Chain A
Amino acid sequence: MLVLEHLWIILALPLLGAALNGLFGARWPKRWVDAVAVGSTGAAMLAALELWREFASLPAAQVPWVKSYFPWMVAGSFRADFALQVDQLAIVMLLVVTGVGWLIHIYATGYMAGQGGYYRFFAFLNLFMFFMLLLAMAANFSLLFVGWEGVGLCSYLLIGFYFLRQSAADAGKKAFIVNRIGDFGFLLAIFLIFRTFGTTDFGPVFTAVGQQPAENSFGVITAIALLLFAGAVGKSAQLPLYVWLPDAMEGPTPVSALIHAATMVAAGVYMVARCGDIFVHAPAAMTVVAVTGCLTAFYAATIGLVQTDIKRVLAYSTISQLGYMFLACGVGAFAMGIFHLMTHAFFKALLFLAAGSAIHALAGEQDLRRMGGLRAKIPWTYRTMLMGTLAIAGAPLFSGFFSKDAILWQAYASGHTALWLLALAAALLTAFYMFRLVFLAFHGAPRFEEHAVHLHESPPNMIAPLVVLAVLSVAGGWMAAPVLWGGPNYFEEYLAPVFTRAATVAPRLMPAGEQAHALELLMTGVAVAMAAVGFFVAWWFYIRQPQRPDKLAEQFRAPYTLLLNKYYVDELYGALFVRPLAWLSDQVLWQWADVKLIDGAVNGLAATARDLGGSLRRMQSGNTRSYAAWVILGAAAITTFVYLLVR
């Protein structure tokens, strides 16, 4: 029971790695930095695996397993301990984060080789692992928020890794500030939780919520749920706070893979799933979650259709897929949302890393219009990328197929037909733009100077993780395969104990039965057909008739420009929020409040003292007799005072 007793080991290992690399890495040779970074993450992964094994032998009554290590905040009636908890959901998150994280660490030793600040990169990456694991294992909202903020900090540090580039520094700031807006909502939610329940510990809060009926009007629980979701909207880049994620592509590709695809952005989904008990008691909030997720899924997919930067396409794809996860949570299928989180971690990390491999091969080129024909030159990158694309498009038997179809089925089965249709449309678009990416980058004739670029396949420490992730992208969903022939979804069953309480309250899904099963298979077929359509259109446009897309862009110039410019949302935010705030800060807070008021007061005090001194100085005239006169006057004044006292 080693790890179960000492859960903190899983946190301490990456933190130690971060500290060692941060403090000493600048003077270490590359292989030491690699050893510390990859080793600490690998050790954390081994600890997580061992925890999984130990957890499996725990009796059901002891789940969730909570260990409190020391009292952290004690103030009056408020108490928050440094307490870590383990249940099935946490296990899933731990395995995904440490596993995918470890693979990406290995990849990064190849990708980041030779770049300045190498040790700093791994220090920040390990620090991120620490905070993400803390977030996953926290047993109360306060500690979760620490992890929440911590990953936001690391995201800022890593997006702005190339901080000498203005666009990177700006992107880091944008990410942090937009996240801050969501975090404000999250913080308000925590305050409300404490005010309503007197504690921020998960156990007592969820028990207390469970004893109340579901709210049918706007009450405290709905408010809490909506504020929590606001935090998730910021962290997981949903409408309207998604704008930071495409800009976050300024960071190095391993960062985009780990933080902005596989793990950090999934923190919002994890949080909503963890608070499932709260959400199911607020049906209005659930609807908001589902609608937001679905709209985001479709909206982001439309933007992804026409983007020209390979990483931007993947960024909008991430936003879109996160929308699917929230859709699942919103209709009550929390386990399916987590399932998609896991499969998405596999294939999205794979896609990013493979894109990074292609970028690496082209010596930094990221524009799809200047790629092409890479299939023969970097075959392993191509094969693994293809696996990831098939997974995300929902090709049958790949991991994405099982998770995405489960979500679509739940949306339909719970009666949200409109959402189902929209999600289906998004699936079509997803298939289209992902295959567009593959065809543009890897097929056709090269659209770049072949002689200027030394095209080579990436080194083994970059290809190996790609292969592992490709295997996971293919097989990662097979635990849900029995659904096809009417069997159970093992993943859902594994997570069932976490969501039992929620399950009793949530509008539950159609009961199983032969008719329901047949309908489910039909729906699956529809979804696959959509994906096939998307694939076919992409093939038609980019393989058969490559000049078609440009002609279409000319014909539909206005919608094309609108999509290419991301609906001008950044410009809208700039005009609505950024410029007025900047004006306020500059003209009001700086010029008036700071310069005139505060500086005026302080300088005014000094000026007053100086003027007072100046006027008092005239007493020192050098004229002895005036001194004598002043002395006498003073004596007379005191005597008068005493006289009046005695009177």
Chain B
Amino acid sequence: MTLDAVLFFVFGGIAVAAAVALILLRHPIHSALALIVVMAALAVLYLLQGAEFVAAVQIIVYAGAIMVLFVFVIMLLNAAREERTNLSRAARYLGVPVAVLLTAELAYLVWHASSANPSQAAGRTDVTRPLALMLFRDFVFPFELTSIVILIAILGALVLARKEP
């Protein structure tokens, strides 16, 4: 077992376990914390694949900003514990099998897709620089657009959430 494989299984397992916890835990704040764990585990997995910039962005932006926003909102709204209710019959007999089916199919499909191409050697050590060049050269237009997207999101959030004057 290479270090690669060990780390993959450990952090992959942590990610899955945290995801399961997100579903099973009843208090939203617990779910939010579980999601942060998932993101952290994913960041390690990105690092394992040599995508260090993405890993950094994941931690800083996703886990560090977005999830904090989630926690803020949960605290603000005083979200309470969910009550345990029984799943409806439709949900129990139809929903779970469908979800399992969906997952299995997706797994098969992506496995099938990737087995066709043998994986290349993960040769690059220097990822950030070419990534930046690509971002600011080939994808400069979408890049600028995202800034407008964020502007719109800010404006939208401001307008929606303000108190009526």
Please determine if A and B sit in direct contact within the complex, based on CB atoms under 8 angstroms apart: yes
Question: Distance in Å from the Cβ of B120 to the closest Cβ of chain A?
Answer: 23
Residue contact B95 to A640, C-beta cutoff 8 Å: no
* Complex contacts, A642 vs chain B, CB 8 Å: 109
Contact of A635 among B102, B108, B109, B112 (CB under 8 A): B102
Tell me which of A633, A636, A640 has the highest count of chain B C-beta atoms within 10 A of its own C-beta.
Answer: A636
Question: Distance in Å from the Cβ of A200 to the closest Cβ of chain B?
Answer: 72
Any B CB within 8 A of the CB of A646: yes
Chain A positions 612 through 647: 1 when the CB is less than 8 Å from some CB of chain B, otherwise 0: 000000000000000001001101100110110010
- Taken together as a complex, chains A and B put the C-alpha atoms of A632 and B105 apart, in Å, by 13
- Taken together as a complex, chains A and B put the C-alpha atoms of A636 and B105 apart, in Å, by 9
Residue contact A639 to B109, C-beta cutoff 8 Å: yes
Query: Closest residue of chain B to A641, judged by CB?
Result: B105
* B interface, over-half SS: helix
Question: Distance in Å from the Cβ of B91 to the closest Cβ of chain A?
Answer: 8
Query: Closest residue of chain B to A633, judged by CB?
Result: B98
Question: Distance in Å from the Cβ of B114 to the closest Cβ of chain A?
Answer: 13
Which residues of B (46-91) have their CB < 8 Å from a CB of A?
91
Residue contact A643 to B102, C-beta cutoff 8 Å: no
Contact of B112 among A633, A636, A646 (CB under 8 A): A646
* Complex contacts, A636 vs chain B, CB 8 Å: 98, 101-102, 105
Which residues of B (98-132) have their CB < 8 Å from a CB of A?
98-99, 101-102, 105-106, 108-109, 112
Contact of A639 among B91, B95, B106 (CB under 8 A): B106
* Complex contacts, A639 vs chain B, CB 8 Å: 102, 105-106, 109
Residue contact B108 to A643, C-beta cutoff 8 Å: yes
- Taken together as a complex, chains A and B put the C-alpha atoms of A646 and B106 apart, in Å, by 12
Question: Distance in Å from the Cβ of A161 to the closest Cβ of chain B?
Answer: 77
Residue contact A643 to B98, C-beta cutoff 8 Å: no
Query: Closest residue of chain B to A643, judged by CB?
Result: B105
- Taken together as a complex, chains A and B put the C-alpha atoms of A506 and B101 apart, in Å, by 95
Query: Closest residue of chain A to B90, judged by CB?
Result: A629
* Complex contacts, B109 vs chain A, CB 8 Å: 639, 642-643, 646
Question: Distance in Å from the Cβ of B161 to the closest Cβ of chain A?
Answer: 20
- Taken together as a complex, chains A and B put the C-alpha atoms of A643 and B106 apart, in Å, by 8
Chain A positions 149 through 175: 1 when the CB is less than 8 Å from some CB of chain B, otherwise 0: 000000000000000000000000000
Question: Distance in Å from the Cβ of A43 to the closest Cβ of chain B?
Answer: 82
Query: Closest residue of chain A to B101, judged by CB?
Result: A636
Question: Distance in Å from the Cβ of B88 to the closest Cβ of chain A?
Answer: 10
Question: Distance in Å from the Cβ of B141 to the closest Cβ of chain A?
Answer: 30
Query: Closest residue of chain B to A642, judged by CB?
Result: B109
Assign chain B's interface to a size class. 10 to 19
Residue contact A632 to B99, C-beta cutoff 8 Å: yes
- Taken together as a complex, chains A and B put the C-alpha atoms of A633 and B95 apart, in Å, by 9
- Taken together as a complex, chains A and B put the C-alpha atoms of A636 and B108 apart, in Å, by 13
- Taken together as a complex, chains A and B put the C-alpha atoms of A636 and B98 apart, in Å, by 7
Question: Distance in Å from the Cβ of A269 to the closest Cβ of chain B?
Answer: 87
* Complex contacts, B95 vs chain A, CB 8 Å: 629
Question: Distance in Å from the Cβ of A618 to the closest Cβ of chain B?
Answer: 14
- Taken together as a complex, chains A and B put the C-alpha atoms of A642 and B102 apart, in Å, by 12
Which residues of A (520-556) have their CB < 8 Å from a CB of B?
none
- Taken together as a complex, chains A and B put the C-alpha atoms of A565 and B114 apart, in Å, by 100
Residue contact B102 to A632, C-beta cutoff 8 Å: yes
- Taken together as a complex, chains A and B put the C-alpha atoms of A640 and B112 apart, in Å, by 14
- Taken together as a complex, chains A and B put the C-alpha atoms of A640 and B101 apart, in Å, by 9
Residue contact B99 to A640, C-beta cutoff 8 Å: no
Question: Distance in Å from the Cβ of B94 to the closest Cβ of chain A?
Answer: 8
Question: Distance in Å from the Cβ of B96 to the closest Cβ of chain A?
Answer: 11
Question: Distance in Å from the Cβ of B93 to the closest Cβ of chain A?
Answer: 13
Query: Closest residue of chain A to B99, judged by CB?
Result: A632
Query: Closest residue of chain A to B102, judged by CB?
Result: A636
Query: Closest residue of chain A to B112, judged by CB?
Result: A646
* Complex contacts, A629 vs chain B, CB 8 Å: 91, 95
Chain A positions 249 through 272: 1 when the CB is less than 8 Å from some CB of chain B, otherwise 0: 000000000000000000000000
Residue contact B108 to A632, C-beta cutoff 8 Å: no
* Complex contacts, B99 vs chain A, CB 8 Å: 632
Query: Closest residue of chain B to A639, judged by CB?
Result: B105
Query: Closest residue of chain A to B97, judged by CB?
Result: A636
- Taken together as a complex, chains A and B put the C-alpha atoms of A506 and B14 apart, in Å, by 116
* Complex contacts, B91 vs chain A, CB 8 Å: 629
- Taken together as a complex, chains A and B put the C-alpha atoms of A506 and B133 apart, in Å, by 107
* Complex contacts, A646 vs chain B, CB 8 Å: 109, 112
Chain B positions 16 through 52: 1 when the CB is less than 8 Å from some CB of chain A, otherwise 0: 0000000000000000000000000000000000000
- Taken together as a complex, chains A and B put the C-alpha atoms of A636 and B95 apart, in Å, by 11
Tell me which of A629, A633, A639 has the highest count of chain B C-beta atoms within 10 A of its own C-beta.
Answer: A639
* Complex contacts, A633 vs chain B, CB 8 Å: 98
Tell me which of B91, B99, B106 has the highest count of chain A C-beta atoms within 10 A of its own C-beta.
Answer: B106
- Taken together as a complex, chains A and B put the C-alpha atoms of A287 and B105 apart, in Å, by 90
- Taken together as a complex, chains A and B put the C-alpha atoms of A548 and B105 apart, in Å, by 112
- Taken together as a complex, chains A and B put the C-alpha atoms of A200 and B91 apart, in Å, by 79
Query: Closest residue of chain B to A640, judged by CB?
Result: B105
* Complex contacts, B98 vs chain A, CB 8 Å: 632-633, 636
Tell me which of B91, B105, B108, B109 has the highest count of chain A C-beta atoms within 10 A of its own C-beta.
Answer: B105
Query: Closest residue of chain A to B91, judged by CB?
Result: A629
- Taken together as a complex, chains A and B put the C-alpha atoms of A539 and B106 apart, in Å, by 115
Query: Closest residue of chain B to A629, judged by CB?
Result: B95
* Complex contacts, A643 vs chain B, CB 8 Å: 105, 108-109
* Complex contacts, A635 vs chain B, CB 8 Å: 102
* Complex contacts, B105 vs chain A, CB 8 Å: 636, 639-640, 643
- Taken together as a complex, chains A and B put the C-alpha atoms of A322 and B126 apart, in Å, by 114
- Taken together as a complex, chains A and B put the C-alpha atoms of A11 and B100 apart, in Å, by 88
- Taken together as a complex, chains A and B put the C-alpha atoms of A643 and B102 apart, in Å, by 10
- Taken together as a complex, chains A and B put the C-alpha atoms of A646 and B105 apart, in Å, by 11
- Taken together as a complex, chains A and B put the C-alpha atoms of A640 and B95 apart, in Å, by 15
Question: Distance in Å from the Cβ of B108 to the closest Cβ of chain A?
Answer: 6
Question: Distance in Å from the Cβ of A636 to the closest Cβ of chain B?
Answer: 5
- Taken together as a complex, chains A and B put the C-alpha atoms of A633 and B90 apart, in Å, by 12
- Taken together as a complex, chains A and B put the C-alpha atoms of A639 and B95 apart, in Å, by 16
- Taken together as a complex, chains A and B put the C-alpha atoms of A639 and B104 apart, in Å, by 10
Query: Closest residue of chain A to B108, judged by CB?
Result: A643
- Taken together as a complex, chains A and B put the C-alpha atoms of A633 and B91 apart, in Å, by 12
Tell me which of A633, A635, A643 has the highest count of chain B C-beta atoms within 10 A of its own C-beta.
Answer: A643
* Complex contacts, B101 vs chain A, CB 8 Å: 636, 640
- Taken together as a complex, chains A and B put the C-alpha atoms of A286 and B6 apart, in Å, by 114
Question: Distance in Å from the Cβ of A522 to the closest Cβ of chain B?
Answer: 112
- Taken together as a complex, chains A and B put the C-alpha atoms of A248 and B112 apart, in Å, by 90
Question: Distance in Å from the Cβ of B19 to the closest Cβ of chain A?
Answer: 17
Question: Distance in Å from the Cβ of A56 to the closest Cβ of chain B?
Answer: 93
Question: Distance in Å from the Cβ of A59 to the closest Cβ of chain B?
Answer: 90
23 contacting pairs across A/B (C-beta < 8 A)? A629-B91, A629-B95, A632-B98, A632-B99, A632-B102, A633-B98, A635-B102, A636-B98, A636-B101, A636-B102, A636-B105, A639-B102, A639-B105, A639-B106, A639-B109, A640-B101, A640-B105, A642-B109, A643-B105, A643-B108, A643-B109, A646-B109, A646-B112
In the A-B complex, the 10 residue pairs with the smallest Cβ-Cβ separation, listed nearest first, are: A636-B102, A643-B105, A639-B105, A636-B98, A646-B112, A639-B102, A643-B109, A640-B105, A636-B101, A639-B106
Name 12 extra pairs, CB < 8 A, besides A632-B99, A632-B102, A640-B105.
A629-B95, A633-B98, A635-B102, A636-B98, A636-B101, A636-B102, A636-B105, A639-B102, A639-B109, A640-B101, A643-B108, A643-B109
